[in-house]
């Protein structure tokens, strides 16, 4: 589970990428992940993929709530879309 | 030692929760449906676990290719399940390489334009 240190730096990329993508050049290009090194490109792509994961989960839950005619997106809507979401990723 | 990893875990989970909350808020505003706190927490937990799965896969792919660096190619493999997703990731990767090439050109181009400006001033 030490692998998860990776996400901290992924998160920083997501936050800064949203504010301005011209900061790209200032970043360190590699990060240490135990004995593995992750390239800058791979980090950005992973950040993008995780962002899509969250967006898919949110949009699918919202569509499920819409189909059931509810005002708020509840945990039951998320539970219903979760299996297909995990299979798609 | 295990305290450090626990603390890192907590910070990471908090970071994920915060980002997920912001993204869900934006989507909720677009569709005028609010997300309950439970749902945001659930999405954050799911993303955290899915990230762990991705990271293990990436490490395995890099090890299989006898590399110590995780590449963009490894990420493309992780995204292979859904066609639309893999096409999107491939396009993003091409965009990134294009940006890098443009930045490199800009680096040399700036020097040239600065020289011509100084010549004009003189």
Q: What is the pLDDT of residues A53-87, one digit of tens each?
A: 999 999 999 999 999 999 999 999 999 999 999 99
Q: Report yes or no on A84 lying in a domain.
A: yes
**A contacts of B47 (beta carbons < 8 Å):** 50, 53-54, 57
Tally the domains of chain A: 1
**A contacts of B38 (beta carbons < 8 Å):** 74-75
pLDDT of the residue at B86: 93
Mean pLDDT of chain A: 73
**A33 - beta bridge partners?**
A36
Task: Name the 3-class secondary structure at A35.
Answer: coil
Of A48, A86, A89, the CB nearest to B92: A48
pLDDT of the residue at B11: 86
pLDDT of the residue at A19: 38
Please give, rounded to a whole number of angstroms, the shortest distance from the CA of B20 to a CA of chain A.
7
Q: Report yes or no on B72 lying in a domain.
A: no
Laid out side by side, the sheet with A30-33 consists of A30-33, A36-39, B69-70
Interior angle at CA A70, CA A61 and CA A86, nearest 5: 15
Both B61 and B92 in one domain: the answer is no
């Amino acid at each position: 589970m030490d692998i998860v240190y990776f996400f901290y730096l992924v998160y920083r990329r997501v936050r800064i990428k949203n504010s301005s993508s011209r900061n790209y050049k200032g970043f360190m290009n590699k990060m240490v992940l135990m004995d593995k090194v992750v390239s800058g490109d791979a980090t950005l792509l992973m950040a993008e993929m995780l962002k899509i994961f969250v967006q898919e989960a949110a949009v699918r839950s919202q569509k499920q709530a819409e189909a059931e005619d509810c005002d708020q997106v509840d945990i039951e809507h998320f539970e219903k879309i979760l299996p297909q979401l995990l299979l798609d990723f | 030692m295990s305290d450090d990893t626990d603390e890192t875990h907590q910070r990471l989970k908090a970071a994920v929760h915060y980002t997920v909350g912001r993204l869900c808020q934006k989507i909720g505003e677009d569709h005028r449906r609010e997300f309950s706190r439970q749902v945001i927490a659930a999405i954050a937990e799911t993303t955290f676990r899915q990230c762990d799965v991705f990271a293990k896969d990436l490490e395995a792919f890099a090890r299989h290719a006898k590399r110590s660096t995780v590449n963009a190619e490894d990420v493309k493999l992780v995204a292979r399940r859904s066609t639309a997703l893999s096409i999107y990731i491939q396009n993003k990767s091409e965009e990134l390489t294009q940006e890098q090439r443009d930045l490199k050109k800009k680096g040399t181009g700036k020097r040239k334009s600065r020289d011509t400006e100084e010549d004009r001033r003189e």
